[in-house]
Amino acid sequence: MKLNFGRDHLAIPGPSTMPSRVLAAMQQPAPNIYAGPLLDMTDQTYAGLKRIAKSSGQLISYVGNGHAAWEACLSNTLSPGDTVIAMVNGRFGGIWAQIAEALGVNVQWIRSAAEQSVDVNQLQQLLGDDSHHKIQAVLCVQTDTSSSISNDIAAVRQAMDEANHSALLLVDGIASFACEPMLMDEWGIDVLVAACQKGLMTPPGLAFNFVSDKAWQWHKKASRNTPYWDWHPRVNGELFPEKFGGTPPTHLLLGLHEAVKMLEEEGIENTWERHRVHAQCVWAAITAWSQQGKIACFIQDQAVRSTAVTTITTGDEDAKRIQEWIQENTGVVLGVGLKAQAGAGLANNQFRIGHMGHLSPPMILGTLSCVNSALLALDIEHGAGALDQACRVIAGQ
């Protein structure tokens, strides 16, 4: 019988749940874009975003998604013929490296298996061998949303420092930003790439580059910084629209202002901790299921798991059956499995649970309970007691 008459729940790793406060903040007529409250509000929002990133650099924004933020970062720091190292252990790292190649940059790939952290030893060696500092930049994704691995950005910086290398450190924090710890200044990140539809709980459409002083200097010689992508007018433009390369995304700015306010009310360290507890709740259930049958966390080592998203492996095709059953019968939408290689399509033996952004225990426990119902309904073999284990995490036991 049909049961799902309440709210549906989108448990995918972005776009994430939009808080009622964010939706309500956008219920306004079109604001003036040359003067008035929108301008001050945006200044406050951007100051808040820099506090959340622990960044003292410039914050530049685009009307765009994560792909726009990626291309903006590369266009402003590199020129055709430059060489970079891409640390790649998942689909998103791979796509970013391919974009660099398409922009005429020579990319040295350091590939690691999707269930392993990026290889900082190999990075240190390659940088150490590069005595003329031909390598301009190192690209690394903090959380690769396909595998749900979390790379240690401080360790990447340490390898660069130990090799005594001057390359820029460019980091994709699209999935992790405002979910997982980020210390941009302390970790020596030169450009941090982010977008608004994951941890920032705002409808897709705003892309960000947080830029260190060093990257700001470098960008003056990057020959790909064409008028639309160029950071410069977006920081120094006299009129508010110049900061967006044209008409500002007014209602996204209204929504984002409320989202940043919510994060600052919670305190970003508390937000990180809330994500960690919710992630442990998910992992506790999966560990119990994994005692029998084929369900398991794709990333075995807890220390390198993202706390924003979890990739779960199943028997062949089971993931697809679970996703279909759960959506039809419970109104929960799970994330599809993505193969680790860029462009390789969907993995039907994997699904993902997004636990990023505006979430509470009933949403997490509800999602896990509905997955458990799917396992029962589809007669997929699994260990018992998963929900009890998940509840123990929420109970602090």
Ligand X SMILES: *Cc1c(COP(=O)(O)O)cnc(C)c1O
Shortest Å, Cβ 143 to ligand X? 6
Shortest Å, Cβ 66 to ligand X? 2
Shortest Å, Cβ 86 to ligand X? 13
Nearer to ligand X, 175 or 215 (CB): 175
Q: Is 159 in the site for ligand X (CB under 6 A)?
A: no
Q: Are strands 332-338 and 9-11 parallel, antiparallel or unpaired?
A: parallel
Q: Is 175 in the site for ligand X (CB under 6 A)?
A: yes
Yes or no: say if 248 and 240 are a contact pair by the CB < 8 Å rule. yes
Nearer to ligand X, 38 or 100 (CB): 100
Cβ burial 159-192 (10 Å sphere, 16+ → b, else e): bbeebebebbbbbbbbbbbbbbbbebeebbbbbb
- Phi, psi values for residue 49, rounded to 5°: -60, -40
Structure tokens at 186: 């302390």
The C-alpha atoms of residue 381 and residue 291 are separated, in whole angstroms, by 10
| Stretch binding ligand X (CB under 6 A), from 16-24, 114-122, 168-176, 295-303 | 168-176
Total binding residues toward ligand X, as defined by CB under 6 A: 14
The C-alpha atoms of residue 52 and residue 220 are separated, in whole angstroms, by 27
Shortest Å, Cβ 84 to ligand X? 17
Judged by CB under 6 A, which of 17, 42, 65, 76 binds ligand X? Answer: 65
Nearer to ligand X, 58 or 146 (CB): 146
| Stretch binding ligand X (CB under 6 A), from 30-38, 59-67, 328-336, 379-387 | 59-67
Shortest Å, Cβ 176 to ligand X? 7
Shortest Å, Cβ 103 to ligand X? 16
Question: Order of strands across the sheet with 168-172?
Answer: 58-63, 206-211, 191-195, 168-172, 135-141, 83-88, 106-111
Residue type, 339: K
Q: Is 249 in the site for ligand X (CB under 6 A)?
A: no
The C-alpha atoms of residue 56 and residue 49 are separated, in whole angstroms, by 11
Q: Is 195 in the site for ligand X (CB under 6 A)?
A: yes
The C-alpha atoms of residue 38 and residue 21 are separated, in whole angstroms, by 17
Per CB under 6 A, contacts with ligand X among 76-115 are 92
Enumerate binding residues for ligand X (CB under 6 A). 14, 65-67, 92, 141, 143-145, 172, 174-175, 195, 204
